[in-house]
Structure 1
Amino acid sequence: MLEPGQIADLTEQLDTDDAVAIIEDLEEHEQKAVLAEMEPEERAAVESALTYEEETAGRIMQRDMVAVPEHMNIGDLIDYLRKNDDLPTEFWEIYVVDPAHRPVGTCQLSWILRAARDIAVSDVMKREQTLIPVDMDQEEVALRFQKYNLISAAVVNEDGRLIGMITVDDILHIVEDEASEDVLLLSGAGEGDINEPIRDSYKARVRWLVANLATALVASFVISIFGGAIEQMVALAILMPIVASIGGNAGTQTMAVSVRALAMNELTRSNTRRIIGREFRIALLNGGTIAVLVGIGTALVFSNPMLGGVIAVAMLINIVIAGFAGIFVPVMLDRMDQDPALASSVFVTMITDTMGFLAFLSLAVGSGLVSF
């Protein structure tokens, strides 16, 4: 374990956002010890960042940037960049601010190098820019970077004053972390950290296993209703898992696409109906294809065309229902301000299993293959 002074020396060599990422993972008393060893200017920057909520722009932004007034010309700017030793060692964009330190535009280094010395910075800069509020969630920041193809963006406080910047390299690990988090939530595995205490991992996973147990009982109840019918034809018991399994996979496919679309703001209130219609048509095509294959196979294997027809129709019904559930459940959870990645899989699995068994066994009884 490094001493507080050693950690302080290391973090002082990093950008503010990287230093914050290290210090915020320490215990409170360790944070205080490290901060006490840091230089006043560096300590003030880190303490300021720690006042913002976790996973917000304020936590990941860099304080080291280049900002110049709009009345400066290109020649003065180049001289300023060459002579000022306090500027960041690496930068590719310069922020132009008004007297109140509000960003009014940006200049890329290539524009500055190719412009004449007597041209005003305000004539070279790009006035349209994407500003990031300091309290914006980091996932929303990542979406803006993706949507507008940003390399860097200015961060402003509630008064619109420039207080930092975020670069694309700061966003890359956020995208990876958010994607990993969604995958783990879909599986009900919690944070998924292999170094997480056993008790925490147990609590995170067991509650969803218990919830899954409860939903599985619903499917079991449906089977119990048709217990007498299953006793009359063993083939029903053999084929039931196929109907439920294929339906579950179809639901999972649609659910994965829907959760990602919600996370990327691609699925909104304005296009929900269109997307549901699209997924419904896809489910019909998939269901029809699988129904034909499983129907023919069942008829040949069991020498029973009626049984083949029953499982084909049941398969079509379950895949269509699975496709609908795979998008409807995440959307409804999102509308209720619940994380779709966290609970969707439990409900989609319950729907596909229950409706698969119900459709198959009901059709078997209704067709006269077995009696109820």
Structure 2
Amino acid sequence: MGNEIVKYDNDMNSVAFGKFKEKELDLFFSICFKVRDMGTKKVVLSFSELKELSNYSNRNLNRFIKDLSNTYDKMLGLNIKIMHSELSFTKFNLFSEYTVNAEEKTITIQVHEKFEYILNKMLKEGNYTKFELIEFVSLKSSYSKNMFKLLKQWETKKERKFDIYEFRNILDIPPKYRMSEIDKKILTPIIQELGQLFYNLKLEKIKTGRNVTGLKFSWSNTKLNSKLKNSEIIDIVEVSDKLNKVIEKIKKNRFIAPLLTIDNIEILIEMFEEKDLIKGLNWSYKEIKQEIKSLNYLIKSIKTGMEQKEKKLVVKTVPEVVQEQETKEEVLKENNLDLEKDQELKIAEIEKIKITKDEYEELYKKYLEKQKTNHTPFMRKTFDISNKDKYEIVLHIHLL
């Protein structure tokens, strides 16, 4: 094989070839190469030429004829669609003739007149995909072959982004495949194989929480990195600009910062609505002033912050007459202010429940059990503050 270049209009990249097996894809694009720039003329190919172009190694004639038949059957199933408007479209197959002659060992191909532009008359300058046929047929996985041509469309930009649903559709991935199966059966083979043809190929899995919502392939110019061929898969967690600003602020708290890893941020995004997470993180930023070792502690703190009611200072406008009257009343009350405070203190002292230190500690243990948590200085402080006006700790309780 020489330097055979396959070239076609980018419209063909919108068609899912997922049903094609590896050898069927090789045969299809080898045929596309031979009919390129031939208009709608009939093109006759010998079996031997087509086998050489497609790197077809099986010598069994019946097997080869069956693969040619399966290739055409699947081409018929492609039903290329050209949209004229939102509701109007035309469907047709690429070839108007596809004749296999087993006796003469030839295949006759003729391009459909409505599809001529795909392989011959490109409608827009630069709106085409081209690649070396030898590179395409050297790939083993059908997923790698399909991704190869899709990336080649973006060879100039060297970057291609997919929404995860678009990716599943264009590669015709079985709906039952979970992300772990896509990683193992599709993404890993793609990166391993295409990493040999696209320099510094990187796949970034864009996540929202723990769910992969998009994929980004990028690679570099071979002329700039002629000796370097590295490929890798990177996880990227996508967050809104508002949440990202809060996270960056929270990282300034040296006690929280070590827990804000990519994995933990994924967990937090999945657990909480964004507005609740922002409120809880801001609370934790102010309240956590000691070393914490587990994400669970931060999660509990975020939940506490979420439950806090917002306090607003409202300035009430009072008419001057009413305000003057209220001022007079305040002056009248001023003389009795100290006496009222003394009385309040006495009432508070009377209302406090006298308990021993052991009894108080027992109450604290029950409080922790109710909260389903363990002792921490933070929890103790919360308990003490909430009970300071309720209990008075004494050495002994005298019974009458």
TM-score (norm 2): 0.21
Name the structure with the higher strand share. 2
Higher relative contact order (CA 8 A, sep 6+): 1
Largest Rg, 1 or 2: 2
